Structure 1
Amino acid sequence: MLKVYLINDSSKHPNWGSRATTAALKELIKSADADLFASLPLKQLSKPNWDSTAKRQNFSNFIKAKTKNNKFTKKLASVSLNRLIKKLPDVIPKNYSQFASYASKVEKSECLQEISCNIKTADVILINGEGGIKNKNRESRAMLFLAYLAKKVYNKPVAFINHTADFCHPDLREMAQNVYPILDDVVFRESYSAQKCSDFVQGAVAADVGFYFKPAPYDDWLKLAGRNGYYESSNDFDPSKPYICIGGSSAYSRNNYPDFRNLCQLLKKEFGQVVLTSSAKIDEEIFSPIAKELNLALIPLSTSPQQAVDILGNARAYIGGRWHGAIFAFSGGTPVIPLASENFKLEALIKQMNLDTPIIDAFDFDQNQILKLLKEYTKQEQLRSNILKRANSLAKTVARHTAIISELNSSPKTLEIKNDILNQEIEGQARAAYN
């Protein structure tokens, strides 16, 4: 059985989509008859940590041991360590010109020993890019560097999968231009990224693995969802009555977001039940006071991904700029009115669904335009049927992200850096879904 090392395990991240993505990938790896023997958490990619070198780990362990018996000193030590690690030289390079020298340090066991050991043990490395490839952030640089390390230094089969690639930053683009072409497989989750990278890699396209999840049929779901306490909500949520869901957007930050009160009041008057959804921490911060003030149901961040899929997939409509929130809605045939996200990904998803829904400004939205679209969409039963059919078609392509496992199982000695040798049946499904 092939040993798989998954880089970017986001199962501990609070976002609905992050947890759903890793859960789906783990199921796909299992169904491909492979062993996920180790994974690298998202937290270790996004932030420097004390485990990056043996000396740093020993120092951190020493401080923690000395302060563990006193709550005050333990807290003080934790805060101090978090501040100090940011001031130390990072083990992740900032530019492609540093990749070779940093990789040499890893090869000499000067840093990233555990990661290096897992790469050497693995038969194949899967890198789950998700929406993290953007802005030259540490997460982006770490994933590209580890892909380079696994392929260039240890000559392992490497697939960079399930991701949107936003290479607006020239330094990040330079990294990708040098890393993607040497990998065994590159699979984007939408066609816009593939097109933007087509001058240096002929990547495949398959639907986001979030399409792996399906909502329960309404009548079956209602038997469970209607029970008291089944859903944790700030106010009563009655799934037996029609409802409209509202979500946030990746474009929002703690200090920059619109006021949803007027929109919520308008939709409550027109449609009755409005349900606010918190698929990310910032959404919960934005919607909590509104839910309290207007007595609206708020589905919290702690909700399981499958429960979130059931809610969004059985809603009359979803308004929001969340990638996975929209996917969860589409999976049940729910029409989506997309708010703009931080980049092109919502536009790409709407195109992927073969829809012509306009992208609404996430900050300066016209609530009357939204109301008009809602009235139009909720009257079209055929629209819901078409959305569900398309979502089911896209769901058939998600196994393409782990196709490298099937290819290695069938012909481990002939794996090449070409998409045309990959599983033809899965590749054909992917092409058919995007034509």
Structure 2
Amino acid sequence: MDRCPSSLPVAVCVLMGSFLCNLIHVSYGQTSQELAPQTLLHGGLNDVIAVCFSKSGNELAAVDSEGLLAIWQIDQKKLIGKVQLSDGMGDLPCLEWDADGTKLLIWSHKVGAFVIDPRSMKQTTIFSKSKGLQGTIPYRYRSTQDLRLSPDGKSLLRVQSPLIDVTDEVQASDSVPSYLEEINIETEKVLSLDAPRYIMCVEYYQNGQFLLTDLDATLLKGDLNPGSQKTQVLRKTSKKRQELYDNITIIYRGILGLSADQKYAVVSGVSGEFKYDESGEVKNSISGVVDVFQLDPLEKIKTLPFTKINFEDQRISNIFSQLNTVCISPDGSYIAAGSLSGIIQIWNRKNMQTVRVINLKYEETPRDIHFAPGRQPLCAFIAGCEYSFYLIDLNKKRDFKLSAVQTFDWSADGKQLAVGGGEDGAVLIFHMEE
């Protein structure tokens, strides 16, 4: 995908067998044919963990678990080239193409960021891992918490945030800053920007602006124009971070999704706060929510409540009710979110009504929910330690499932779907019929 939520946990497990032998089709209410593969790409890779279409849909990039990158010309099934990336780039790499397909951005929070010229396969280092940035407290910083390539492919928005592991650090983190900067790829000039306490996500916005969220689900807007490097709070939440469960900090707030036309944004949050009685027992219930915003002019349209599963232990119920993935379809018509409890909920943005609720059970936490671009209401995500891939057709009420898929991406027109995973190192491309 062209987006990598590096701040979110991803289960690590051993894949058995090849996903090519595990195509399952499930139909609800009508008979339909299986989702048939159209193109199979081989490039001598191991298990593929990241794929990304160019904006034209003519090229596809993939990275395997050993950090080997391959780029193909899809219509000719031609391997353009391969290059071995730096050590560590096989750990949750993220890929993004510029608009004209002349630059491929590759980054990992543990290593740094690199730009690949797909014609020569030349690799240029933009920055390496963190140089030990220090705030008012000596926290360890991610090399990159979030990174976005500008629409013109000339610069990057980079976020570095502290690694917070235990509740004592969470309570003190109000005084610990994130670092936000814009990097010019060609000149390597760095523009430091104003940042709130702890940035979760950042997105380029219109007219040289950007949107970002913090860990308290506050929505902010910033300006990249010279002399205007201050962030403006668009919507401030009143909900503060709380210690959640013993000494384990599990917090999922401030995940940001933006429609392709930049008219709407969605931000994950929670309803209520964690409260305890004198004996330490949890005395209230919280649940995940999705705040929906119209951006120009700014207006909060709705707070969407999320379906909750109650466990015997209220603390566990509260933790597993939090959302760890949220998105809005490119045209702004649908909204989807997934919780730690294994529930996926999909809403129609126009009437704010629930379209589907899918219960995968808590063993299958969903991640990376994305809608297909174009007119087809197709939603896809990966869930659980076995990396089950689900494709949801909201119009025809059909669900498809693939086993052992670690990564997927839609082409910009929504007509191609690439999936990668398994031990044979292949990438499978499906043609999505209207």
TM-score normalised to the size of structure 1?
0.24
Select the structure of larger CA radius of gyration: 1
TM-score normalised to the size of structure 2?
0.24
